[in-house]
Structure 1
Amino acid sequence: MTDVDDSTELSRPARRQAEIAAYVVQHGSVSANDLVEAFGVSVMTVHRDLDELERQGVVRKYRGGVSAQPTSVFESNVAYRLTTASAEKTAIARHARTMIEPGMSVMLDDSTSALALVELLEDITPLTVATNFLPAITRLTQLRDVTLLALGGIYSATHDSFGGLPCAEAVGALHTDLLFCSVSAVSPTHAYHQEQEIVLVKQAMLRAARTKVLLVDHGKLQRTALHRLAPLTDFDVVVVDEKTPEDLVHALRDQGAQVDVAPL
């Protein structure tokens, strides 16, 4: 069972649902009784959690059990993303933090990689921070000396963020010093995401920032996704974690990307 980073401040039911989502993804298909035994909760609680995860599009319920949705569906879901590569995202965020100075304007996308950075901003204020990610917005409201620009649009429960054309237009009205963002998959030459509507907002963010930083844990360098976001050379820095195989780091650099390796 995968631990969820407490810094995301999930409620207990939401944390359990994220862990159940990860468990179902890992096993592919499980029974309700399996989940009762694995998580030490009642059958009623399991079914309530599964109803919520099915509503979010993470799982499919069937009589007596549950199975994971296709990879492209559950990898987009925030409950699943909050359970993955927590240590790597924290390490990448620590490195990214060194690029921020008091007084800067910073844009964050709706990635959990960028969310890990929010917890490190408190002692480098004043800052102006723009984001469309509701968990980041919620946390940033608690930080002193942060001017928060909440980027609205069409709310997605699956991503727990705002998107669509209204969000892209809101992004287009800004010009920030820095952008920190992530994607679903990275090849030696390009960054990809599995959903076109998410690509729309991320591309607007790329146009709206002076310095663009891509945050990617090593697992994303071995995946594929449908929609191309941008060439890696469009980013000023690509930050990976030290679990990234050296041959993959060399492949990125050979294609012209500036790659920083964050120590764990």
Structure 2
Amino acid sequence: MSSDTVDGDTRPEPADPGRPDTAELSRPARRQAEIAAYVVEHGSVSANDLVEAFGVSVMTVHRDLDELERQGVVRKYRGGVTAQPTSVFESNVAYRLNTAQAEKSALARHARAMIEPGMSVMLDDSTSALALVDLFEDITPLTVATNFLPAISKLTGLRDITLVALGGIYSATHDSFGGMPCAEAVEALHTDFLFCSVSAVSPTHAFHQEEEIVLVKRAMLRSARTKVLLVDHGKLQRTALHRLAPLTDFDVVVVDEKTPADLVQALRDNGATVEVAPL
């Protein structure tokens, strides 16, 4: 963590090997990267927490938070800052990458069994679908289409993958491409599978906080033969601002085994085909 105590301090600061990619940043940018990591780790913190943790002034903390909010990394609220989702805002990708990792791995393993070599697969910009990429190596050749930059980066390193990178308007918050240009690129395709996720699921519908994300996900639903929704138990019994689709629009809804049996039954009672992935 940064050791400066006043604005403008020019004392040298040792490199932090635990924070990759920060060594070449300026002092403010390096501190902002560390603050972002701290907020992601803790979910929500107060400005005073950051003052104490980083040894900088309240003014410096607020200036750094303003910049991080401008980048879409955090959201400020009265007295503090958060990386956690709300019914209106989705959490940033760094936060999502570090939540429910065991559950997402279980969902990916279950989904992987549905794929055979030679198929075409579409992945949305969810971290649940991203977990599938690490399992593709032994089921190639595959054609994979995605708008998620972390997935694109991983897929470029795999052999026998035909990668279709779905471009559009880049969002730093989601590290993905979206908007109408992306939706149009999606609609030019027809894949065997879509593997996707959402931020909230009620007993009857899938929801997402952001209209631009919903636009692309709906295009993906129209462009795949078999549609699979991957949902960890933490997303159930929740809603968000925009209703994406009824759960019956998905051929399969995969949940992890931490999902209470009564919730699984409620989904089935409302017409969804539900499969439970063991952890």
TM-score range, shorter chain: 0.7 to 0.9
Show the counterpart of 1:145: 160
Checking the alignment, whether the CA contact within 8 Å between 1:21 and 1:59 is kept in structure 2 is no
Shift of 1:138: 0.5
In structure 2, what is the Cα distance between the partners aligned to 1:49 and 1:135? Answer: 25
In structure 2, what is the Cα distance between the partners aligned to 1:100 and 1:49? Answer: 45
Aligned CA distance change for structure 1 residues 12 and 52 (closer, same or farther; 3 Å): farther
Residue 229 of structure 1 aligns to a residue in which SS?
A: strand
Shift of 1:235: 0.5
Task: Choose 1 or 2 for highest CA Rg.
Answer: 2
Show the counterpart of 1:199: 214
Show the counterpart of 1:215: 230
Shift of 1:142: 0.4
> Aligned AA for 1:59?
R
Checking the alignment, whether the CA contact within 8 Å between 2:129 and 2:197 is kept in structure 1 is yes
Aligned CA distance change for structure 1 residues 100 and 142 (closer, same or farther; 3 Å): same
Residue 257 of structure 1 aligns to a residue in which SS?
A: coil
Residue 43 of structure 2 aligns to a residue in which SS?
A: helix
In structure 2, what is the Cα distance between the partners aligned to 1:49 and 1:208? Answer: 42
Checking the alignment, whether the CA contact within 8 Å between 2:206 and 2:247 is kept in structure 1 is yes
Shift of 1:78: 0.8
* Matched-pair identity in %: 75
Checking the alignment, whether the CA contact within 8 Å between 1:185 and 1:220 is kept in structure 2 is yes
Show the counterpart of 1:99: 114
Residue 256 of structure 1 aligns to a residue in which SS?
A: coil
Aligned to 1:59, which of 75, 79, 82? 75
Aligned CA distance change for structure 1 residues 95 and 16 (closer, same or farther; 3 Å): farther
In structure 2, what is the Cα distance between the partners aligned to 1:226 and 1:61? Answer: 19
Residue 31 of structure 1 aligns to a residue in which SS?
A: helix
Aligned to 1:21, which of 30, 36, 39? 39
Query: Where in structure 2 are there 5+ consecutive unaligned residues?
Result: 1-18, 23-31
> Aligned AA for 1:108?
L
> Aligned AA for 1:223?
R
TM-score, normalised relative to structure 2 = 0.80
Checking the alignment, whether the CA contact within 8 Å between 1:175 and 1:208 is kept in structure 2 is yes
Show the counterpart of 2:8: none
1:32 aligns with 2:55: no
Counterpart mapping for 1:80-95 below 5 A: 80-95=95-110
Residue 213 of structure 1 aligns to a residue in which SS?
A: strand
TM-score, normalised relative to structure 1 = 0.84
- The total of aligned residue pairs comes to 247
Checking the alignment, whether the CA contact within 8 Å between 2:200 and 2:237 is kept in structure 1 is yes
Higher helix share: 1
Aligned to 1:159, which of 161, 174, 191? 174
Checking the alignment, whether the CA contact within 8 Å between 2:100 and 2:232 is kept in structure 1 is yes
1:123 aligns with 2:138: yes
Show the counterpart of 1:253: 268
> Aligned AA for 1:251?
A
